[in-house]
Amino acid sequence: MGHEIAWAEVRRRDRRALEALCRQWMPTVLQWCCRLGGRGLDAEGAAQEVFIVLLDRLDSLDGPHVVGSWLFSATRRVLAQHRRRVWVRRWLPGVSIDHIVGGSNPERRSSARSDLAQVQDIVSGLPPRLAEVWVLVQIEQRTVPEIVDLTGIPEGTLRTRLRRARQLFLAEARSRGLVAPSVAEVP
């Protein structure tokens, strides 16, 4: 995860250490928001909210070893709140999803109408508990112990969820013509 942050400095609320902590984890959290939130969600806004909560609750963190799982759990909660907001967007007149997709990243914006948008739609259509496991394994290629540590999900449950998520993802990708019908079923 790049350079190590001196935790004692963070506990002392040293401004530079706090900024380094945010900078270290921002890419990870932003990617979680983009991958788990779906196209209609303001991923940058959600990521920022996660860090505002982090700065507000620094005292509740026991040490650097819990930062990842703490942030993952905060991201889950913030995304759940944002999904509620997305409902309203569906019904508002003239709201184009594209202007919030990817925020300030032009590459992400321009690809929003492509297959990537469809993949994001499929992932955001999965039940959140399945989507998070699928993203951590298939997209972020994390190991099982790492995910157990991050999410607190028991290993057996994790494997069951992953299998189910892959089945659902492949079925939907097939129905959209994104993968060939010959692509093997999930065992």
Partner 1 sequence: MSRSEDTLHILLRDGTQAGPREVDTLVDRLGPHLAQAALGVRPPRRRLVLPVGASVVALAAGALLMVQPTPPPEAVSLVATWDGDVSGVVSSPVEGLALTIDGRGQLGGSSRHPEVRWSKGRIGISVEPGALDGFTVETQEARVDVTGTAFEVSRDAYGTRVTVSRGSVDVRCGQDQDTVQAMTADLEPIVCLPTTAGGLLGRAQAQFDAKAPAQDIADTLTQARRQQPSDMLTVEILATLALTWQRAGETERAWTLTHEALSKASGFRHDDLRRLALDLALDREDCAGAAVFIDSVGTADARSQRAVAECPELAPRP
Q: Is the dihedral of CA 66, 71, 72, 78 positive or negative?
A: positive
Q: Per residue in 1-27, is it b (16+ CB within 10 Å) or e — as a string? A: eeeebebeebeeeeeebbebbbebbee
Q: Draw the binding track, 34-73, toward partner 1 (x: CB under 8 A; -: no contact).
A: xx------x-xx-xx--xx--xx-x---------------
Closest distance of CB 71 from partner 1, Å: 14
In the complex with partner 1, which residue's Cβ is closer, 1 or 183? 183
Closest CA to 7 of 18, 173, 159: 18
Question: What whole-number distance in Å separates Cα of residue 176 and Cα of residue 119?
Answer: 10
**Contact status: 4 vs partner 1 (CB under 8 A):** no
In the complex with partner 1, which residue's Cβ is closer, 69 or 118? 118
In the complex with partner 1, which residue's Cβ is closer, 129 or 149? 129
Question: What whole-number distance in Å separates Cα of residue 97 and Cα of residue 99?
Answer: 6
Q: Which of 6, 61, 97, 116 binds partner 1 (CB under 8 A)?
A: 116
In the complex with partner 1, which residue's Cβ is closer, 53 or 69? 53
Question: What whole-number distance in Å separates Cα of residue 96 and Cα of residue 66?
Answer: 38
How far out from the chain centre does Cα 18 lie?
A: 22
In the complex with partner 1, which residue's Cβ is closer, 15 or 63? 15
Both tokens of 4, joined, read 């190590």
Contact criterion met (CB below 8 Å) for 132 and 76: yes
Q: Which residues bind partner 1 (CB under 8 A)?
A: 13-15, 18-19, 22-23, 26-28, 30-31, 34-35, 42, 44-45, 47-48, 51-52, 55-56, 58, 81, 84-85, 87-89, 91-95, 100, 103-105, 107-108, 111, 115-116, 119-120, 123, 127, 129, 138-140, 157, 160-161, 164, 170, 173, 177-180, 183
